[in-house]
Amino acid sequence: MGGLHTLCALCALCAFTCKSKTGYSKEQGHKKNKVFHWHYLIKSGYNKDILFFFFRESKVVIRKIWTEIFHRNVGLIFLVITCHGCATLPKENATYLMNPGDKFIFVNKVNRHRGIIIGWQDAKPYLPMLKDEFPHASYLELGWGGLEWYTTERNDRGGVLVLKELFYPTSSGLYVMPFSREPVDFYAKSVELSKLKVTEVSYQAILKRIGETIKLDASGKIILEKKGTSSSGNGYRIYRANGRYYLFNNCNTWINGLLKEIGY
């Protein structure tokens, strides 16, 4: 689309130059009909008109590109670029024999974003800052990302916010959504899901890292930034988190750090 507008701008310039029959003769001191030539245009002082024309048409083209290509596809661009952290799911190992103390975790994938699902009752002792937050939940889905992105309504996430989130290290937030059904049933086929068996030691290491992600205030309490409702109808919460979010430290980078704790 941008190329089309550029072509139109060039055609308009040609039309502008070809249709103009008026030149200025310094020797005669008056206007006269004359075939219009580029060198005459420049020599006659019309170079300012050319620059103005190109400047004006360039603004139109840039505005069209921004509106039609970037701004309208802001979510897609954001998701494609943030795949830097590698958004593939780990291979399931849940068919392996279970040892005493082993736990299950899940990793899900929505477009290019990955999250982790943990059993809340098993995890609660290791995340004391959240112990009173979800009294009826069986599972928690957690994701890490840009705080402003999380707290801005979907329809208000414009191109400026995308550029800011990608190229300027910004404050981060932790997305937490509680639910009670088994993850396989809860997500059904709406997202990709991988079930992983982890040892007790690895499980505690993951929870320790999640706990270190949550930012606490001076009194040691969590900082709630937003409550909302997901597309599934479940409520979710956004908490202020530690770390700076940008292109090379995104949601998938955070998940990769957790998976390293279990050898992935």
d(CA 125, CA 218): 22
Question: Mind listing the pLDDT tens digit for each residue in 74-112?
Answer: 554 554 444 444 556 666 655 555 677 789 999 999 877
Are residues 247 and 122 located together in one domain of the fold?
yes
CB 236 within 8 A of CB 227: yes
On whether both 67 and 114 belong to a single domain, the answer is no
Scanning the structure block, which residue is given the tokens 């908490």?
A: 239
164: amino acid identity, one letter? K
Which element (helix H / strand E) includes 51?
Answer: helix 47-65
Measured distance CA(232)–CA(234) in Å, rounded: 6
Domain end point (choices 35, 52, 75):
75
Q: What are phi and psi of 174, to 5 degrees?
A: -110, 120
Among 44-53, 139-148, 183-192, 228-237, the range of highest mean pLDDT: 139-148
Query: Is residue 81 assigned to a domain?
Result: no
Residue 99 lies in a domain: yes
Same domain, yes or no: 121 and 213: yes
Confidence of residue 231 (pLDDT cuts 50, 70, 90): confident
pTM reported for the whole predicted model: 0.66
State which of 41-45, 63-67, 93-97, 238-242 shows the largest mean pLDDT: 238-242
Q: Is residue 32 part of a domain?
A: yes
Q: Report pLDDT digits (tens) over 125-141.
A: 999 999 999 999 999 99
Do residue 199 and residue 245 come from a single domain? yes
Considering the domain architecture, whether residues 210 and 176 belong to the same structural domain is answered as: yes
- Whether 130 and 176 have beta carbons less than 8 Å apart is answered as yes
- Statement to judge: residues 29 and 132 lie in one domain: no
Our count of domains for the chain comes to 2
Q: Are residues 100 and 38 in the same domain?
A: no
For residue 132, give its domain range.
86-260
Pair 223, 117 in one domain: yes
Q: Is the pLDDT of residue 170 over 50?
A: yes
Q: Which residues contact 71 (CB under 8 A, 6 or more apart)?
A: 158, 159
The structure tokens 């402003």 sit at: 148
Please tell me the total number of residues recorded for the chain in this structure.
Answer: 264
Pick the closest to residue 238 from 262, 214, 208, 203 (CA basis).
214
Q: Looking at the domain assignment, is residue 80 inside a domain?
A: no
